[in-house]
Chain A
């Protein structure tokens, strides 16, 4: 049962349920339990850094990397909480944030976007919804690289990004506008590409490699949902 082979929806369910339970269950015991589970999850083999694509060999090492990312992301919150609140509140909120951070960092490591897109298509989601998420995910690095290239190109024709606030805001305009205008200009070509390659409304898209979704996992997802609802019911009734 490694993170890598679970159905994407199961990964999402777990990563959603743990933080929900952390907030619903009475503090600090609830938070402590969920935080521990989340941190242990990050150690599960196969939780290779899917999205952060830092490359990984199976075994414990990637798990430690994921755990370290989770801890490093959660740590500053504890510091700021101490700054603002007394100790019991800090512990209560800190455990909840740690649960959320750990479960999401694990999700990001375990979830491959291609499998999520295939799962959405196989589950009958419209191809357009899957397109929105996946296309944004792949467009971000492309436009970020373009933004860096534009900053370099504009500096090579004399633009100084420094100076006073007014100078920096003018520089911001000379750097942001080219990025936005060139990206907007390409919307038409992207639409033409989608049209010519068949992504038109109302199609029955063939899932390429739909991840297996065994009944036990589907049951587990419903169980998690019921557990959260039950805990919510008990907490407020």
Chain B
């Protein structure tokens, strides 16, 4: 791995964790904590993406002890972003947002068993309340848990995909050309 890609990983991971300051400013119920992972994958491929996801989870865990089980979700996000980048789905919002929604479903499907087994669906206040709503709607426990994490996580991955698309298109062409995957991700290669 070249020094440039090595230097990209901590920056991409730190972007994921720093975006919470932006989300707080606009007061939207979003996490955006996979932005760096998806961006790193779209710029430099799966290896860099997965490394970014793992480092993001590790540092996140040091700041919030209940986050470590979700390293699995970050890895799956990186793999999904790899497929999306190969297919050039970052070329426009019309392709990126549906791809983000698809990832939202997959991420919820992945995090539900973790949330259910480890936390009994109480990972965050939001998830717990929506799970309770799911139970009230008569869903079985695991179904309610899926409903809980899906509703609270639903928009996050779609907005994240849209944001990464914006970034890739906002990059100056010369900078984008020097990351191995960037042009292919926006369907320009």
Contacts and interface: CB of A to CB of B under 8 A. Distances in A.
A and B touch in the complex (CB under 8 A): yes
Closest 8 CB pairs of A and B: A104-B65, A80-B128, A139-B14, A143-B18, A135-B10, A80-B122, A147-B21, A136-B10
B186 interface: no
Interface string A32-61: 000000000000000000010000000000
A27 B28 CA distance: 39
Interface in B1-28: 1-4, 6-11, 13-15, 17-23, 25-28
Contacts of A146: 18
16 contacts: A80-B128, A84-B131, A96-B118, A104-B65, A128-B1, A136-B13, A137-B59, A140-B17, A143-B18, A151-B25, A168-B26, A171-B26, A172-B159, A184-B43, A186-B11, A191-B6
A187 B66 contact: no
B103 interface: no
Interface stretch (A175-183, A207-215, A219-227, A228-236): A175-183
Interface residues of B, number: 59
Interface string B149-172: 000000000010001001100110
Contacts of B68: 104
A195 B63 CA distance: 30
B7 A191 contact: yes
A204 interface: no
A180 B65 contact: no
A9 interface: no
A161 B28 CA distance: 10
Contacts of A173: 163, 166
Given A80-B125, A151-B25, A191-B4, A93 B120 contact: yes
Interface of A: 23, 51, 73, 76-77, 80-81, 83-85, 89-90, 93, 96-97, 100-101, 104-105, 108, 128, 131-133, 135-137, 139-140, 142-144, 146-148, 150-151, 161-162, 165, 168-169, 171-173, 175-177, 179-181, 183-188, 190-191, 194-195, 199-200
A97 B121 contact: no
B26 A132 contact: no
B126 to A, nearest CB: 10
A105 B26 CA distance: 30
Contact of B56 (A51, A80, A136, A191): A136
B91 to A, nearest CB: 17
B33 to A, nearest CB: 11
